[in-house]
Structure formats: C-alpha cells, structure tokens
Amino acid sequence: MADAIAVLNAGSSSLKFSLFGIVGGALELTARGQAEGLYTSPRFVARDRDGKILDAKDWGDGVKLGHEGALYYLFSHADLGDQRLIGVGHRVVHGGLMFDRSVRIDASVLAALEKYVPLAPLHQPHNLASIRALLISAPQLPQVACFDTAFHRDQPEVEQAFALPRAITEKGVRRYGFHGLSYEYITQVLSVCDRRAAQGKTVIMHLGNGASMCAVANGRSVASTMGFTAVDGLPMGTRCGALDSGVLLYLMDELGMDARAIEDTLYRQSGLLGVSGISSDMRVLEASTEPGAKAAIDLFIHRIGRELGGLAAALGGLDAMVFTAGIGENSAMLRERVCRAAGWLGVELDLEANHAGGPRISTAESRVAVWVIPTNEELMIAQHTRAVLAGDQVTMAMAADVNPGLQ
Ligand code: AMP
C-alpha cells in the first residue's frame, strides 16, 4: 500500500485540497478538488489527475457547512484506493518572525500561530480553523504547517523594516512578504532548467488574482513587493496594491469611512476591478473594448515595470525573469508589454516563443533570460510535509521531485 499526503488550502469560504501519492520515492498528484460557498451554498467536487470527476455534492442554498463540515465530508468520503494517508500539509499564510520553515503542528505551534491572526485577519483564521478541526477529529494524523512568509524570513533587515518608531516595529509591524511557496517552487525549477538564473539575480513575477514580485539572489529572497499584508505592492484582481498611507487618513477624515469599509475598499473593490469598473478577471479585460479595461491593464503593467526596476536595483543587476500564476502563465499580451518595457534592462523577447507560451521566451542574444514556469504551490507543500514527517531538513535536495519538463 502506497503512502499519500493530503494538502489543504483554506480560504475564507473555500477549502481546496490535493492528494499526492508517494510513488517510487516521488510525489505524484492523484486527486484534487475543492469545497466552495462553505457558509452560503456549499458545493464539493473532487477530480482525479486527468480531470475525471470522482465525487460531487451540492448542499443547496442557505446551508452553513463551514470548514469543519467540509473537512469531515472530505475525510469520510475520500476514496484513497490503495493509498494510506500519512499526513496533511496546510498552507498557512503567516509564520511571523518565529517560523522560517515548515513545522509539525501540535497544540503549542497552533497557539503560536493564533498570535499572528491580527497580522493576517483575512486568511490566518481560516487556515487555523482547518488545523484545529483536524486536531480534534483526527488527533493521530500528523499535520504540518507550510508558510507563505517563510521563504522571505532571511531578507536583509533594511528590506524588512518600515521607517516607523521602533516601538511599533517591535510589535511585528514589518515587511514579511508572501507567495513564498510559489517562489520557492520556481527557484527549484530554475535550478533544473537554468543554472545561471538559479545562481544569479532573478525577479519572479507571481501574477494571478493575487499578484506579487520577488527578487531572488542565488535562490534566496532578498526583496518582495508584498509587505506587512498581502495588499501591498502590485495592483491585483480586487486589491489596490501600494498606496500612499495618507490616503487612509483621507478616507477616514474626509469620507468618514471606518476600518471595515476601508478594508472592503482596499481588498475587494480596488485593483483591476476598481480601475476598470468591469471585472477583476484579466481574460474579461483583455477581451473588452471599454476604456476602463484598457486603463486597468495599463496601470497593472506600469506598476509591474516600476517594481521590476526597484527589485533589479535591490539585486544590483538582473540575469533572469520568470512569469508565473494565472496571468503570468497565460497572457502573452501582458508578457510582451512587460518585456518591451524592460528592454532597458537587457530583455529581448522572442515573440514566437512568447505566443507559444514558453518555457523560455527570450532570444538567444537576450542579456536577461525570460521564462514562463507554471507554479505548483501544492507540490511544494506536499514536499515540505513529507520532509518534516521524515525528520529531514527542508532543503533544496527536494528539487529531485521537480520535473518541470522544460528542457
Ligand atoms: P490565479 O489566481 O493564479 O488562479 O490567476 C487568476 C487570474 O489569471 C485571473 O485574473 C484570470 O483572468 C487570469 N487568467 C487565467 N487564464 C488567462 C488567460 N488565458 N489570459 C489572461 N488571463 C488569464
């Protein structure tokens, strides 16, 4: 009987899962799926790796299934075939200053992670709800927390600090950076497909509904666009990105908005959606002829270009760029415009390769190598979980699992 690892990614009203079998020492995806609308109209679907539906259920409107109910359904219905579940890896958005690597969860780790809820109130409570529910319903099942912040923990102090009074900094108000599991995965793939980039100065652009960029030197994060929260940096689907903090005072003093109204505006009504007035979905904006759609795309690309310059400065040069996540992997138009704007850094785009989706989309002469690499945060979590359960150090040795098929 083969061992298997489940990966859970809990959002505010959803629970995504993947199941990885350990086959011949390597991790292989065997099933994935999600439960959505957990507090309004829950629906569940699980598919095998070829997309065939294994199980689907709709609870109907007005049902509050919650994270606990979804977990119970998932684990009581999961058909593992001839696989034995040896552990569960959770995506946990915030590991604060304490956790610079993945960790086996027990009551004391859970208590430490609760302290970071105020630092990530929109994500952390849901991540922890799933952990808590499993600790109660399956206390014998090993659980591992894998953090979006851990990859950035070693950034230089000047990158992590805000220019705020020390007493506020000491409360944990500093730049943490997020999307770390995605960046770590990409650095692993680079170590297989482009050694120069892996050992050099690379900017990775995770451009999805959430969007951020990270400067990586010799495989380590040195700067990132997201800071204290996941609303900083680039404009995103519905998040505003970097904002003059004076705007917050204006919203409070002149528009009479309270904290919750501001939160709703900055996290859910801004970004591509707010600027376009049409949609947060890049596919819809690309297909639209409305001026608002063009304005949103122009702003997104402009900010990517500005951040790229800043991150190249933090690195002191640039050897490679990587596009990843929904927009980065799929929008040839956006990649082309970002690369054209980055011509001053030595980027030369191969138009044909870009339209074909890569993986390498720069010309042979380009000083900067440009790649399109699909991210795989779930595999990263499964790798970490396996390594923690085996008592190993989580190291780049895990690159052995990566089979990017890029060469
Ligand atoms: P993610 O959060 O990584 O799933 O990415 C979601 C984003 O990717 C959404 O804005 C989608 O519009 C965008 N996206 C997905 N497919 C495409 C595509 N073919 N062209 C442009 N954008 C896309």
- Strand locations in 11-137 (E): 15-23, 26-36, 43-48, 53-58, 83-92, 103-104
Same domain for 271 and 306, yes or no, is yes
Q: What is the CATH number of the domain that holds 34?
A: 3.30.420.40
80 alpha carbon – ligand 1 mean position (Å)? 31
Task: Identify the segments of the chain with pLDDT beneath 50.
Answer: 395-397, 399-400, 404-407
Residue whose CA is closest, atom 19 of ligand 1?
Answer: 330
Q: Tell me whether residue 251 is in a domain.
A: yes
Residue 272 CA: nearest ligand 1 atom is 10
Residue 285 CA: nearest ligand 1 atom is 12
Give 269: exposed, middle or buried? Use CB within 10 Å, 0-12, 13-18, 19+. middle
Same domain for 279 and 348, yes or no, is yes
Number of domains in the chain: 2
Same domain for 134 and 201, yes or no, is no
Q: Tell me whether residue 247 is in a domain.
A: yes
Q: Tell me whether residue 184 is in a domain.
A: no
Same domain for 102 and 209, yes or no, is no
9 alpha carbon – ligand 1 mean position (Å)? 19
Same domain for 56 and 128, yes or no, is yes
Q: What is the pLDDT of residue 405?
A: 47
Same domain for 117 and 243, yes or no, is no
List ligand 1's pocket residues with C-beta within 6 A. Answer: 208-209, 237, 281-283, 286, 325-327, 330-331
- Please choose, from the candidates 208, 151, 215, the residue with its C-alpha nearest in 3D space to the C-alpha of residue 181: 151
Same domain for 395 and 249, yes or no, is no
Q: Tell me whether residue 187 is in a domain.
A: no
218 alpha carbon – ligand 1 mean position (Å)? 29
How far apart (Å, rounded) are the C-alpha atoms in residues 67 and 129? 7
212 alpha carbon – ligand 1 mean position (Å)? 14
Q: What is the pLDDT of residue 401?
A: 57
147 and 98 Cβ atoms separated by less than 8 Å: no
75 alpha carbon – ligand 1 mean position (Å)? 30
Same domain for 75 and 114, yes or no, is yes
pLDDT in tens, 349-379: 999 999 999 999 999 999 999 999 999 999 9
Residue 286 CA: nearest ligand 1 atom is 21
Same domain for 212 and 82, yes or no, is no
Enclosing H/E stretch for 203 = strand 201-207
Residue whose CA is closest, atom 23 of ligand 1?
Answer: 327
Q: Among 178, 285, 304, 327, which is best to mutate for testing ligand 1, by the most ligand atoms less than 8 A from CB?
A: 327
* Residue bearing tokens 């600027």: 275
pLDDT in tens, 173-209: 999 999 999 999 999 999 999 999 999 999 999 999 9
Q: Among 14, 178, 209, which is best to mutate for testing ligand 1, by the most ligand atoms less than 8 A from CB?
A: 209
Q: Which of the residues 48, 50, 55, 148 is marked catalytic? A: 148
Q: What is the pLDDT of residue 119?
A: 83
Q: Tell me whether residue 272 is in a domain.
A: yes
Q: Tell me whether residue 159 is in a domain.
A: no
Q: What is the pLDDT of residue 399?
A: 47
Residue whose CA is closest, atom 4 of ligand 1?
Answer: 326
Q: Which domain holds residue 296?
A: 196-372
Residue 237 CA: nearest ligand 1 atom is 10
224 and 210 Cβ atoms separated by less than 8 Å: no
Same domain for 80 and 64, yes or no, is yes
Residue whose CA is closest, atom 9 of ligand 1?
Answer: 281
Give 272: exposed, middle or buried? Use CB within 10 Å, 0-12, 13-18, 19+. buried
360 alpha carbon – ligand 1 mean position (Å)? 20
281 is catalytic: no
How far apart (Å, rounded) are the C-alpha atoms in residues 206 and 225? 10
Residue whose CA is closest, atom 18 of ligand 1?
Answer: 330
Q: What is the pLDDT of residue 82?
A: 76
Same domain for 293 and 386, yes or no, is no
Q: Tell me whether residue 162 is in a domain.
A: no
105 alpha carbon – ligand 1 mean position (Å)? 33
Q: Is the dihedral of CA 136, 139, 388, 383 positive or negative?
A: negative
- Please choose, from the candidates 63, 116, 88, the residue with its C-alpha nearest in 3D space to the C-alpha of residue 10: 88
227 alpha carbon – ligand 1 mean position (Å)? 23
Residue whose CA is closest, atom 15 of ligand 1?
Answer: 326
Q: What is the pLDDT of residue 121?
A: 81
Same domain for 50 and 118, yes or no, is yes
Q: Tell me whether residue 176 is in a domain.
A: no
R_g of the chain computed on alpha carbons: 21
Backbone angles phi, psi at 335, to 5 degrees: -60, -45
